[in-house]
Structures are given as C-alpha cells and as structure tokens.
Structure 1
Amino acid sequence: MKKFTAATLFAGAAATAVLGLAAPAQAAPAGSGNAADTIASLDDRGYAVRVNHQGMVKPLDQSSIVSVNYDNDDRVVDVTVR
C-alpha cells in the first residue's frame, strides 16, 4: 500500500511539474501595432471580423488584442480587445 501511495504522489507531482512549466500559447498575432492594425490585416486576408470589447470601450487604435479565435469554415474571426 505504501508503494502505491508513493507512486501516486510521484506521478501527480511529475504531472504538475510538467504542466506548470509549459509555456502559455500565443492567442493573438504577434508583433507590434494596435488592434486596428491587426483587424485591418485580417480583413485584408478575407476574414469577416467580429470585435468583442473587454472592459472599458476605447478606440481600436488605442486597444490591445486579448484573443483571436478563427472559424476557418465560415472565414470568421472573433477578436477580443481591451
């Protein structure tokens, strides 16, 4: 029983360590610029862009991207800005 408990604790600690050290995924396109530039770029590539504001609403050229979700089947992109 002690071996089973020790093995379970070790496996849990190892999984936690691996998941804890994993780098977060990039949700938004990388690069400098503002939300307006990113949205214009997506529009130029033929996507229909839906903008969702998070927090206080301000002009897109003063906003930053929080997340970008692509729906390639419908060529729609949901962009969340802050």
Structure 2
Amino acid sequence: MNKFGFATIIAGGLATGFLGFAAPAQAAPAGPGNAADTISSLDDRGYEVRVSQQGMNKPLDESSIVSVRYDNEDRVVYVTTR
C-alpha cells in the first residue's frame, strides 16, 4: 500500500474517533407554557418584544412559539407564534 492510502486510512480513523466523542447537540427547552408566558418572561427581563403570527390569528395564551430572534444591541426580541 502506498503512503497516500495509508495516510488516508489513518486520517479517517482519527476523524471517526474524534467525532465519536463529540457530545450530541441539545435541543432548545420545550417546557410547559404558551406564547403569552414566554413573551411576559422576555418583557420582565427588559426586552422590547415584537410579535408576528403565522397562519390563523389566535390569542397568545393559545399560541405556540415558532421562532425567537434576539437583537441584543437594541434589546429587542422578535417572536413568531403559530
């Protein structure tokens, strides 16, 4: 076997071993609550909250959060609900 083939096998084995020890990604917390609770919590922490809704308009206490985007420079949080 030539040097290139041997080096490729070694590099592949090391990469596989390294990735095997990597911790799995953690999902965002999905605890109980609704959009109104989350928005109230963000407001209590001093953020200006701007809400947009996807799909049919529902009250915030019946809605769920789709996405949250922070603008830390201006202390604004953009929340999308469904």
TM-score by length of 2: 0.65
Aligned pairs (5 A) from 1:49-60: 49-54=49-54, 56-59=55-58, 60=60
Give the match's secondary structure for 2:39.
helix
**Cα deviations by residue, 1:4-26 (Å, 9 ceiling, x for unpaired):** 1112222342354455x512342
Which contiguous aligned blocks of 4+ residues in structure 1 show a shift greater than 6 angstroms? Answer: none
Find the aligned partners of 2:68 and 2:20 in 1 and give their Cα distance.
28
Structure 2 residue 82 is the aligned partner of structure 1 residue 79: no
How large is the RMSD of aligned CA atoms in angstroms? 2.6
Find the aligned partners of 1:42 and 1:14 in 2 and give their Cα distance.
41
Deviates more, 1:1-10 or 1:45-54: 45-54
Partner residue of 1:33?
Answer: 33
Partner residue of 1:70?
Answer: 70
Structure 2 residue runs of 5 or longer lacking an equivalent are none
Partner residue of 1:4?
Answer: 7
Deviation, structure 1 residue 69: 2.4
Structure 1 residue runs of 5 or longer lacking an equivalent are none
